[in-house]
A and B are shown apart, each in its own frame.
Chain A
């Protein structure tokens, strides 16, 4: 007798294995994020609700610093736009794949973090599995892992007797790894050098509290001005 599976159940079973590595990663980073929030003086509600509503890991680490600094909503918005600008390009790549997914499309776009994007963009979805539900479950499971990790970190962070001094380095380490991954993939490193160099110059010129926006503008301006040579080198090298 052939067992009939509902399409939703089949999509879940197909999607789940793809998310197992993300489970490990999100629990590690999410727990650390929750503990870091706790060590910075925020109750577990903060990492949990921020994980739920923002759902952009690297930005949430930056958000801790923003919440500890002086109230500056405009800077919070511009920094978010710049740090998450990469999502614009995820969106462009997903225009086609998210087509015809009905009401799920809204959630798929809302939950399009780096990891959901990379699975949904690269996964070979079997013919007999509903694409919309498959991508929905990838996004939803990742969302669950992240929120639960962040909440647990926030709850158990206060019970830890571990000295958490220096834990904030996890954010630096994370960005170094992402930068390095990008570096290993790209043919020309001009943009990477520009990002490091211009930001360092702006840090020296404007100081630690003021340098972000000048850095962003100078990076965007220089990339626009140098478009021809950069595109040529990107092709040749």
Chain B
């Protein structure tokens, strides 16, 4: 990408973020109830989007070549275990990342 293309890409991300943050304040008023469909999406969409983001992070993992996704699987299980145990976001993220780095640098 050229510098101009990078700036345009970042500008699009800024624009998208600003839209998601400002839109409700233009569309809805604190006096009137929010439409039920919007409330429904607000309740149920986030889980699905975070599921999508996990798949997005793993999109280049190949189960049939390289290290078969073993470092990813082991590290994700560690993140889950650490999080269920301590429920401390930073410990879970740091533990999983260090585990993954050690695996790809030293083992695989």
Contacts and interface: CB of A to CB of B under 8 A. Distances in A.
B83 A76 contact: no
A82 B42 contact: no
Contacts of B65: none
The contact size tier of chain B is 35 or more
21 contacts: A71-B9, A82-B52, A84-B16, A84-B17, A85-B45, A88-B38, A163-B101, A166-B101, A169-B97, A169-B100, A169-B101, A176-B80, A176-B96, A179-B47, A192-B48, A196-B51, A200-B55, A219-B52, A223-B40, A227-B40, A230-B44
Nearest to A216: B52
B9 A171 contact: no
B32 to A, nearest CB: 10
B55 A76 contact: no
Contacts of A163: 101, 105
Given A91-B22, A179-B54, A234-B43, A67 B1 contact: yes
A182 interface: yes
B18 A110 contact: yes
Contacts of B60: 208
The listed residue with most B CB atoms (<10 A of its CB), out of A53, A55, A174, is A174
A28 interface: yes
B81 to A, nearest CB: 11
A234 B78 CA distance: 29
Given A67-B1, A84-B16, A172-B72, A183 B47 contact: yes
Given A62-B56, A99-B30, A173 B97 contact: yes
Contacts of A73: 8-9, 12
